[in-house]
Amino acid sequence: MRAITLLAVLALAACATPAGFDARMQGFVGVTEGDLVQQIGVPDGDFTTPDGRRFLQYERLGVASPAPAPVMGLGVGGFGWRGGFGSGVGIGAAYPVVALPPPCSVTFEVRAARVASFSRRGSGCVASAPD
């Protein structure tokens, strides 16, 4: 069963490529700046060069979120003030620390309030190709 799960995860991961990411980002070229912000969020940076070129920068387009993981604990109590002794077993959920996704920085150039081009940087800039 574990081998089948691993193969399924690898198959899905194999579909995510830099080319797929580029194809998805290319879909934003030509949209208005407002539509870009509405679809992928407020940029992390907004830069204008001395010659008037404007760039919107996104540091991460996806963020991993923690998911509950089952945990099991065993407790043993000491002697109480009246001579009792206690023990117990419990099952609960914990929120483990989740590693950040690989870095991916995307910069869109905006001309006349429309996305003119984009560039990407980082090993985390992968996605499946759009349908």
Do residues 55 and 109 lie in contact, with contact meaning Cβ atoms separated by under 8 Å? Answer: yes
pLDDT in tens, 6-50: 333 334 445 889 999 999 999 999 999 999 999 999 999 999 999
- pTM of the entire predicted model: 0.62
Q: Do you know the residue count of the chain? A: 131
Phi then psi for 93, rounded to 5 degrees? -130, 145
Q: Where are the domains of the chain?
A: 2-64+99-121
Dist CA 44 CA 6 (whole Å): 35
CATH, range 2-64+99-121: 3.30.1450.10
Dist CA 35 CA 56 (whole Å): 13
